[in-house]
Structure 1
């Protein structure tokens, strides 16, 4: 089943299809900044099922907490980060789960099973029971 989503202003639209490769909360410093929050909910999807439906994202590449380069893809108009990719995901897109239109996606499909950089988890966010550190 395909899921569509996009940025806040609607200029960039994406579609993802297939089973998630990974589902995680990330507490890295990049995700703090990108989300404007304490963590980011991410779903790694197979590149074969990923499509840009409309618009052209801007990119920004940094060296992440992993030490490897990671590229963010975002709307140049509203600033929404839609996905990232790099060596850490074998260049499969790391979708920011909140950009998918269907609220069931973030509630069900994107339910995290691992936490990344849990040592950076803020004290008021509880550990996800049963998750493992990746």
Structure 2
């Protein structure tokens, strides 16, 4: 069962599933949340993600596309562990941040299958070969 944690180790999680479906998102919110040019998200059914230690804090903000996005993070070190949104395509899943994986799972993250919001991708970043390229979230 894949597992992960925040930077300081106060909040830990595990989930049923695998790390075979990675989705990069280049939206403005993901850039702000991560402090990077994109996030690498692993969709996990909400009821299959279990917090095993600690309790993440959360913050909800209106996404630039109109839906509400909630980030779950460690209130000690600030690591964002996962996100949830009320948009239809995201309603059944938590989006685990792949960089928070621990143990063997961190080395088994697959190549991204999809890139979202490529219209906002940094011009010098190449597209991921073989990944679906989507202008927005559709």
Both structures adopt the same fold (TM-score exceeding 0.5): yes
Q: Deviations over 1:33-85 (max 9, x none)?
A: 12111111001011232100011111110111331101100011100000001
Residue in 1 that maps onto 2:129 = 129
* 1:77 alignment partner, SS class: coil
Across the aligned residues of Structure 1 and Structure 2, the Cα RMSD in angstroms comes to 1.9
Runs in 1 of length 4+ with deviation above 3 angstroms?
Answer: 19-22, 104-110
- Measure, in 2, the Cα distance between the counterparts of 1:128 and 1:29: 19
Within-5 A mapping of 1:1-134? 2-19=1-18, 22-88=21-87, 89-102=90-103, 105=105, 108-132=108-132, 133=134, 134=138
- Measure, in 1, the Cα distance between the counterparts of 2:3 and 2:39: 19
8 Å contact kept, 2:19–2:105: no
Shift of 1:109: 3.4
Unaligned runs of 5+ residues in structure 1 are: none
Question: Structure 1 residues 70, 91: closer, same or farther in 2, change over 3 A?
Answer: farther
- Measure, in 1, the Cα distance between the counterparts of 2:18 and 2:2: 11
> How many residues are paired up?
132
- Measure, in 2, the Cα distance between the counterparts of 1:110 and 1:15: 18
Shift of 1:131: 1.8
**TM-score, normalised relative to structure 1:** 0.88
**TM-score, normalised relative to structure 2:** 0.86
Q: Deviations over 1:61-116 (max 9, x none)?
A: 011133110110001110000000122312411000110113x6455434211111
* Greater helix share, structure number: 1
* 2:58 alignment partner, SS class: strand
8 Å contact kept, 2:23–2:40: yes
8 Å contact kept, 1:83–1:96: yes
